[in-house]
Amino acid sequence: MSDASSLSSAPAPVAPAASAAPALAKNELLKQRDPSLGGAIAATLADPNADRFSEDDEQFIKFHGFYQQDDRDKRKTGKQYIFMIRNRLPGGVVTPEQYLAFDDLATRYANNTLRITSRQAFQWHGVVKSGLGPIMRGIHDVLSTTLAACGDVARNVMAPSTPATSVLVEQVLEDSRLVSTALLPRATAYHQIWIDGQELNLHGARGEEPREPQPAEDPLYGRTYLPRKFKTAFAIPPLNDTDVFTNCLGFVAIADPANPDRLLGYNLLAGGGLGMSHGNKETYPRLADVLGFFPRERIVEVAKAVLTAYRDHGDRTNRKHARLKYVLEEKGAAWFRGEVEARTGFPLAAPAPMPFTRQGDLFGWHRQTDGRFFLGLYVEAGRIKDTAQRQLKTALRRIVEQHRVEVRLTPSQNLLLANVPEAARADITAILAEHGVPVENQARAVRSSSMACPSMPTCGLGLAESERFLPTLLDAFETELAALGLADEELIVRMTGCPNGCARPYMAEIGFVGRAPNKYNIYLGGSETCLRLNREFRASVKSEDIMKELRPVLTRWRDERLPGEHFGDFAQRTILPELDAAKAAATAVAN
């Protein structure tokens, strides 16, 4: 199917696998059986004796935006089921009313923390079954949703939302909302179960036309949805804060050369993705290909064309091979471009230049392009919480209550308080100080540009600690860098508890990927613009030996680097080629 009409027509139901054809993955059969995605969720919710959902429903609930987990710290005394809920926030933009509601839900029904995700959304952890309904409804009541925050669908759309970085930010945010809404599934069960049959009018909230009523079968996704998850991000050069090349679908904003305030269109990127499995060479991180340029007004058609091409050509037999990146890798970018063009009915133009020179967030007070101010706040591992030293959660609540400022979540798990009038700045700074949260010198460069995924104790796939271990490792980094006279050098460090890549460790200058309890693979060589994949430097290093492995390379960076050379570039120029040469020599000797 490769004509323009395929944009809205769903694929035919997939027939049960013939004996010669590879068997469909189990999730495909589940989706075929119940395209409403309802399963027995409602029955389990209504059953006061059930503390968990069945194995099949564990797959369906993801489409509703939540996961069944258990507290891994408590496994020795028997599994205690808890749930993680994730919402969708295109571009990470949160209104004051939404923030206050989300904070309240975290206090009442979750573990009293709000977790900013690496895709600019919120997660609520530690929710018990009876808390699911109130949280889902509470999120809906403030015109947000958890629908399709997880599952085989288009996930939360990332977009740059830092007001000072470009005049194009608000235009791009508008497009990110358009794309997010256009790619939402219409799964009937979601609203029936959680919102008493009322569909959330996401568009109406912004004064636009409400969406049409839900059809029996999803007009975009069809009966079996996508082969797996599908991720979209926008970026505005020169800032690559969304790691745009790691997404299935990327839109890079191109300004009109004659009028830099006007968004002309986008370069289209496709086929990025990071997840891999240890010891399985068929799985690997991949950066997206640049397919071409198109004008802004075609964005929804292009987004749907890429999504439906994936829907029809992704692998539905092997979930480890089911991401769009493998379609691009195996069929090629030229083939995929043809597929997209056939579906939209217009050709892509040659890509426009898109010089990226930096990534990451701005901290402290900055003036917005509209004259007001925003405050960038570093949030350790994205966890908004109160501790004895810092009461970030309480401080943010007070600020949003008193000053009704907008909150914007960044792709690096930090946040901005945006649209702040000059008159409110001093009071906001004072409230933060009262709660132990500094506005200036918030953290050393290595800490403020770091990221960690949640891993233990909530993530069932974690092999090693991440969010709970990275702060300690960063202490060691800070000591080491200070001893080497490199205390204020920028260095992008990211950690995950397993190779799935949730905090995008394969883009870091130094990446740590959990291998086993207390053991990490170390990756070196990402770029400061996050445009290059790093490579494995050491495998299965014990936590306590990490600095022993890194000290020599950090010392060499100090002594041998070219003027201004970032660590990742240095590692690519020296350490990694030397490693390759040593490996080649060892192989030659062995042969």
Give the residue numbers marked as catalytic.
Answer: 86, 155, 229, 231, 453, 459, 498, 502
Nearer to ligand SF4, 301 or 536 (CB): 536
155 binds, among ligand SF4, ligand SRM, none (CB under 5 to 8 A by kind): ligand SRM
Question: Applying CB under 6 A, does 505 fall inside the site for ligand SRM?
Answer: no
Give the contact letters, 40-69, x = binds to ligand SRM (CB under 6 A), - = no.
---------------------------x-x
Nearer to ligand SF4, 63 or 520 (CB): 520
Give how far Cα 287 sits from Cα of 35, 250, 326, Å: 32, 11, 11
For residue 61, the minimal CB distance to ligand SF4 (Å) is 17
Is the distance from CB of 134 to CB of 90 less than 8 angstroms?
A: no
φ/ψ bin of 500: left (φ > 0), alpha (ψ from -120 to 50), beta (otherwise) = alpha
Give the contact letters, 413-452, x = binds to ligand SRM (CB under 6 A), - = no.
----------------------------------------
What does 126-142 look like in DSSP terms, one character per residue? EE-HHHHHHHHHHHHHT
Which spans of this chain sit near ligand SF4 (rule: CB under 6 A)? 453-455, 459, 461-462, 466, 496-498, 500, 502
Question: Applying CB under 6 A, does 471 fall inside the site for ligand SRM?
Answer: no
For residue 244, the minimal CB distance to ligand SRM (Å) is 10
Nearer to ligand SRM, 501 or 511 (CB): 501
Which value, to the nearest 10 degrees, does the dihedral of the CA atoms of residues 501, 504, 505, 509 take?
A: 160
For residue 461, the minimal CB distance to ligand SF4 (Å) is 4
273 binds, among ligand SF4, ligand SRM, none (CB under 5 to 8 A by kind): ligand SRM
Main-chain dihedrals φ then ψ at residue 242, nearest 5 degrees: -95, 5
Q: Which residue is nearest to ligand SRM (CB)?
A: 275
Beta strand 415-420 pairing with 451-452? unpaired
Main-chain dihedrals φ then ψ at residue 10, nearest 5 degrees: -80, 155
Strand residues in 27-79 grouped as ranges (E): 66-70
- At residue 540, the 3 state secondary structure works out as strand
Give the C-alpha separation, 494 to 482, whole Å: 19
For residue 189, the minimal CB distance to ligand SRM (Å) is 20
Is the distance from CB of 127 to CB of 83 less than 8 angstroms?
A: yes
In b/e form, how buried is each residue of 180-207, taking b as 16+ CB within 10 angstroms?
bbbbbbbbbbbbbbbbeeebbebeeeee
Residue selected from 31, 64, 119, 435 as contacting ligand SRM according to rule CB under 6 A: 119
User: Is residue 586 within a helix (H) or strand (E), and if so which, with residue range?
Assistant: helix 576-590
Question: Applying CB under 6 A, does 155 fall inside the site for ligand SRM?
Answer: yes
Nearer to ligand SRM, 188 or 246 (CB): 246
For residue 154, the minimal CB distance to ligand SF4 (Å) is 19
For residue 414, the minimal CB distance to ligand SF4 (Å) is 18
Residue with the two structure tokens 């909530």: 458
Question: Applying CB under 6 A, does 271 fall inside the site for ligand SRM?
Answer: no
- Structure token pair of residue 126: 């530690």
Question: Applying CB under 6 A, does 86 fall inside the site for ligand SRM?
Answer: yes
Question: Applying CB under 6 A, does 550 fall inside the site for ligand SRM?
Answer: no
Beta bridge partners of 293: 267, 349
Nearer to ligand SF4, 508 or 553 (CB): 508
Question: Applying CB under 6 A, does 458 fall inside the site for ligand SRM?
Answer: yes
Is the distance from CB of 409 to CB of 102 less than 8 angstroms?
A: no
Beta strand 364-367 pairing with 373-377? antiparallel
Give the C-alpha separation, 150 to 153, whole Å: 7
φ/ψ bin of 234: left (φ > 0), alpha (ψ from -120 to 50), beta (otherwise) = beta
For residue 520, the minimal CB distance to ligand SRM (Å) is 16
Residue selected from 121, 189, 415, 432 as contacting ligand SRM according to rule CB under 6 A: 121
Residue selected from 144, 246, 344, 410 as contacting ligand SRM according to rule CB under 6 A: 246
- Structure token pair of residue 590: 């062995």
Residue selected from 270, 428, 486, 502 as contacting ligand SRM according to rule CB under 6 A: 502
Nearer to ligand SRM, 61 or 541 (CB): 61
Question: Applying CB under 6 A, does 144 fall inside the site for ligand SRM?
Answer: no
